[in-house]
Structure 1
Amino acid sequence: MTYPPPSGGWQDPAWSGQQPDPTLPVPAQPTGKDPYAPADPYAGAPVIPAQAVPADPYAAAAGYPPPAGYPGYGYPPAPPQNGLAIAAMIVSIIGALGLCGYGLGGYIGIVGAILGHVSRKQIKERGEGGAGFATAGIIVGWIATAIAVLATIVLVVFFVWLANQDPSSYDSTTY
């Protein structure tokens, strides 16, 4: 059984009675070589004289405006940290840990608090980062110093009370 040829300008290449459409491009005949392979794989890149290379690599791309200095992806870089603010926090933490030694090690917190105040001033003047470190150094330093002062008062009161005790009230019998 044979079917009539399709209508509407559609061409079936398997149809024997068809003639090629002259409006379509003629496909290239295969040459036996890979069309995507380089001409000579061992040949180097062609040498271009310096006069032929434009100074601006974007100048050759016609139709596109020159790059406008857009920022890169992600967040902008953070400002540098103030080292004095980090030192203030570390010294204040050491002062707080010094409270374990009868509370007298907390006096180191004064140094941390002062460093925190100085670093906060530097951060405002220079626009650096580390304001949180400076604030932590100030707060922890003053708290450690206040606890050290209270511990000193308690120790002095205790030793004064102990010195004023009557030694006769103790049991002086020996075994």
Structure 2
Amino acid sequence: MFLLLYEFEALSKLKDDRAESVVDRALTLPSPSPKLFHTLSALAVDAPASNRKLSMRALKVAIKLHMQAEQPDYTKCSADIRNLISLSLLSNEKEAMIYFKETLDMVERAKEQYPEVELLWLMTKSWNRGLHHFNWDQPVEAEQWCSLSMSLLKYLPSAKGEYHDQMMSVYGEILSRIETRMERKNMEE
């Protein structure tokens, strides 16, 4: 396993396409661990490699392996999810939205085992993305991200009172902008 890691590190830092084949070989190991793929991911984004695509691939494998465990370690898995979402937000917002929604499904299955601090991070990240779209007068995108954030709120009973009223107020403004835009569009037609 250590030889595999060294080979991967060398190839990825040299920006050699064969680094991808090392990930494939790692998948063929008997009982591959999520930690191995977490490490591969970290090596892939470490300078000078800076290979986001390869890092994201390794994170997806790590998450899958976490979830295949009899008792998933949601703390470790959530760290990989955070990294995956952070990387995807840098390049493909639609893909990031998919990961957010998949994570929401996972949170539902995990019940109270998913770390609250990670739920707060997800909620804040999606809310801020929604506000970004709202400020750029993109109410449809703003609504998608903010509604995602609000759906996470129900898993945070300790923070619910703190954020609920403020979020509902901004969300109402977003819906109002969407409605106004649709009315204008209908009048123009």
TM-score, with structure 1 as normaliser: 0.28
Between Structure 1 and Structure 2, the one with more helix by share is 2
Q: Higher relative contact order at CA 8 Å, sep ≥6: structure 1 or structure 2?
A: 1
TM-score, with structure 2 as normaliser: 0.27
Choose 1 or 2 for highest CA Rg: 1
